[in-house]
């Protein structure tokens, strides 16, 4: 949808004011020869309006190479213009989204177009993680005399998603206790090719066919059969989006995306809890479509001030998490709330691996005092991690080093 607006410049306003003043002076002084002074000004207005006032009849389009791009990549953006009339001086400005940086060329140009002429303008931008909406292209023209200008806004909405960079990482958890999956992908259903293991209380989301009606009648509670599945263990990714860890939040997201790709390649079913102010839960599933769905959510994740991850984790453990799942918890563990969440996971009997990027490793001290302060904070963090080690296996990650190396230091691969 295009909106065109015609505006008179300040110079034209002064000109109109001078015309009226001359006419009024001539009228009151009865000096009608003064009207001849107005004629050149009127002729100037006539020429400007009738010979230099285009309607900006221009066809505009934008082309992006892809709708998903890895963060850190540089992409080409193309603007195509076709003039359906002669435009002596056209200014084009593509309103790039906040967060994108132009690294080559310019998103703003001034050009002259003949009728029927086509132009292609290119510039390059550096992509960051997140959703970047391209929305408007501004076209503007001002006559050579500076008396008016015409503005037109072209609403061309396109969305570019900056996907987190993915590293090659090993599987930090074990599927020991489950049988080997036959085929390239695991079955998402419990009950096919499985052996009886135990009786437990029925949980929301379990299929009705595993209900043990005899045990239900005997206990007065809905009981279900539990089976030893022939698939790999379910994995739940839990991402702590607390604002206190904003300095390593991008590293946190990259780690989650990397291990998610590892799970996809292994044929492992996985789910995602993005613990923002309003939590986002993606149920356990498998396959490429499910992977890209989770990656899209990770791409748009932002740290929140009001974070209640401990409450969110407890609620979803009671209602959504699969029993005996492997939990991968991504958190710098800076807040008591995030540490309570880890305690809750352990108390419910889950095997937890914590990928904890060290926020102090992302800071370059600029003075001796800052270096000493970082050293003290790092010692406090080390003591805290030792206390939390009883609740899960903690990967203390120096973000300046590869995640693969940090995992290899604590996990027997």
181 within domain boundaries: no
Name the DSSP class of 242: B
Q: What is the mean pLDDT of residues 258-273?
A: 93
pLDDT digits (tens, 9 = 90+) for 302-335: 898 877 899 999 999 999 999 889 999 999 999 9
Q: Are residues 204 and 303 in the same domain?
A: no
Q: Is 135 helix (H, G, I), strand (E, B) or coil?
A: strand
Closest CA to 94 of 128, 120, 55, 131: 120
Sign of CA dihedral 328, 333, 335, 339: positive
56 within domain boundaries: yes
Quick check: 328 and 238 in contact, CB under 8 A?
A: yes
> Does the pLDDT value for residue 186 go beyond 70?
no
What is the distance of C-alpha 293 from the center of its chain? 12
Burial class for 376, CB neighbours closer than 10 Å (0-12, 13-18, 19+): exposed
- The position carrying tokens 């946190």 is 252
Q: Is 338 helix (H, G, I), strand (E, B) or coil?
A: helix
> Does the pLDDT value for residue 270 go beyond 90?
yes
Beta-carbon neighbour count of residue 273 at 10 Å?
Answer: 25
Closest CA to 54 of 78, 84, 24: 84
pLDDT of residue 220: 84
Q: Are residues 59 and 84 in the same domain?
A: yes
pLDDT digits (tens, 9 = 90+) for 211-237: 888 888 888 888 888 765 545 689 999
Q: Are residues 159 and 217 in the same domain?
A: no
387 within domain boundaries: yes
**Pairing label, strands 195-201, 108-113:** unpaired
Q: Are residues 150 and 25 in the same domain?
A: yes
> Does the pLDDT value for residue 26 go beyond 90?
no
71 within domain boundaries: yes
Quick check: 61 and 94 in contact, CB under 8 A?
A: no
Which of 198, 228, 258 delimits the end of a domain? 228
Separation of alpha carbons 169 and 50, rounded Å: 68
Q: What percent of the chain has pLDDT over 90?
A: 51
CATH code for the domain in which residue 240 is found = 3.40.50.410
Q: Are residues 40 and 3 in the same domain?
A: yes
pLDDT digits (tens, 9 = 90+) for 108-166: 999 888 899 999 999 999 999 989 999 999 998 876 666 667 788 899 999 999 999 99
Domain count of the chain? 3
171 within domain boundaries: no
pLDDT of residue 54: 61
Q: Are residues 340 and 369 in the same domain?
A: yes
**Pairing label, strands 326-330, 235-240:** parallel
Which domain, by its residues, includes 198?
A: 189-228
Q: Are residues 273 and 402 in the same domain?
A: yes
Q: Are residues 253 and 211 in the same domain?
A: no
Separation of alpha carbons 329 and 164, rounded Å: 18
pLDDT digits (tens, 9 = 90+) for 272-288: 999 988 889 999 998 99
pLDDT of residue 201: 82
Q: Are residues 216 and 238 in the same domain?
A: no
- The position carrying tokens 């435009």 is 87
75: which 2 tokens? 């992409």
Element (H, E) at 37: helix 35-51
372: which 2 tokens? 């000493």
Q: Is the pTM of this model over 0.75?
A: no
Q: Are residues 265 and 405 in the same domain?
A: yes
The residue ranking higher by pLDDT, 230 or 403, is 403
174 within domain boundaries: no
């Amino acid at each position: 949808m295009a909106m065109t607006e015609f505006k008179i410049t300040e110079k034209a306003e002064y000109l109109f004011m001078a015309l009226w003043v001359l006419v009024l002076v001539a009228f009151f002084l009865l000096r009608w020869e003064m009207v001849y002074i107005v004629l050149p000004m009127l002729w100037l207005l006539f020429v400007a309006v009738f010979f230099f006032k285009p309607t900006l009849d221009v066809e505009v389009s934008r082309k992006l190479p892809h709708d998903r791009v890895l963060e850190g990549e540089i992409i080409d953006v193309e603007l195509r213009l076709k003039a359906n009339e002669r435009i002596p001086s056209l200014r084009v400005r593509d309103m790039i989204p906040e967060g994108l940086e132009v690294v080559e060329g310019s998103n703003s140009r001034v050009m002259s177009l003949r009728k029927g002429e086509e132009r292609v303008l290119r510039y390059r931008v550096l992509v960051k993680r997140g959703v970047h909406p391209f929305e408007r292209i501004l076209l503007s023209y001002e006559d050579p005399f500076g008396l008016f200008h015409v503005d037109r806004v072209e609403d061309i909405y396109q969305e570019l998603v900056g996907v987190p960079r993915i590293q090659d990482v090993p599987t930090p958890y074990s599927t020991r206790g489950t049988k080997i999956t036959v085929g390239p992908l695991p079955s998402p259903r419990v009950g096919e090719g499985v052996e009886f293991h135990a009786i437990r209380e029925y949980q929301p989301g379990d299929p009705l066919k595993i209900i043990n009606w005899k045990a239900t009648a005997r206990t007065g509670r809905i009981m279900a059969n539990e089976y030893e599945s022939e698939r790999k263990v379910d994995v739940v990714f839990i991402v702590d989006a607390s604002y206190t860890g904003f300095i390593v939040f991008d590293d946190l997201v990259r780690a989650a995306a990397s291990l998610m790709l590892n799970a996809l390649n292994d044929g492992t079913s996985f789910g995602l809890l993005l613990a923002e102010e309003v939590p986002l839960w993606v149920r356990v599933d498998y396959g490429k479509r499910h992977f890209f769905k989770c990656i899209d959510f990770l791409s748009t994740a932002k740290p929140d001030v009001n974070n209640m991850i401990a409450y969110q984790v407890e609620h979803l453990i009671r209602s959504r998490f699969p029993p005996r799942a492997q939990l991968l918890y991504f958190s710098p563990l800076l807040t008591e709330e995030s540490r309570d969440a880890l305690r809750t996971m352990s108390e419910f009997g889950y095997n937890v691996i914590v990928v904890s990027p060290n926020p102090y490793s992302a800071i370059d001290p600029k003075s001796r005092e800052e270096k000493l302060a970082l050293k003290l904070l790092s010692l406090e963090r080390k003591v805290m991690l030792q206390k939390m080690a009883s609740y899960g296996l903690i990967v203390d990650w120096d973000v300046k080093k590869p995640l693969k190396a940090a995992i290899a230091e604590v996990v027997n691969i």
